[in-house]
Amino acid sequence: TNNDIGIFNAIQNLASILAQLPGAKATKYFDRKFIWISSTIIARLLWIPILLIPFFMPSPITVLIFLLGLFAFFQAIKRTAWTSLMGDLVSDSARNDYFSKRNIIAGISGLFLTLAGGFILAYYGFSTIFLIAIFLGMASILFFAKMYEPPFRKEYHYQ
């Protein structure tokens, strides 16, 4: 219903906001790669119960909204660590070029993956798309785990 969609949007936004402080605090105690990897694993594993909801619950909307809120929370924790890490990895002078090229590649890739997702959805259904997303999310962890993590810089630029 319209109310469910509104609650879903509100919960996702609230979860993203609430995750920023714990995500920032976690960088004091853990490596940013560890935060990114662990929150990615948790977020991807949340797709398994989301995938199974239709098979075990007659009215799944409340549980679905809750699980997607948790997913948004862990995605936001991951984003905090990733933003900090990228700020230390990419120099100030190269940041504009790097992120503009990255966004172009991500946009083009997203276009083709959306088309591929449409074909997969048409022939194999939602479950297959969810399983592929879980697999690719877990595979990204292997690449990210090998990435260099520079020491955490504490620079404060207050005006």
pLDDT of residue 88: 84
Residue type present at position 93: S
Indicate if the pLDDT at residue 110 is higher than 80.
yes
pLDDT in tens, 119-150: 999 999 888 887 887 788 778 888 888 887 77
> pLDDT tens digits, residue range 60-105?
888 889 999 999 999 999 888 888 888 888 888 888 999 999 999 9
Residues in the chain: 159
Contacts of residue 98, defined as CB under 8 A and 6 or more positions apart, other chains included, come to 90
Strands (E), 1-159: none
List CB contacts of 20: < 8 A, sequence separation 6 or more: 76, 80
Residue given tokens 């620079």 in the structure block:
155
The predicted pLDDT at position 55 comes to 83
Token digits of residue 60: 């799944």
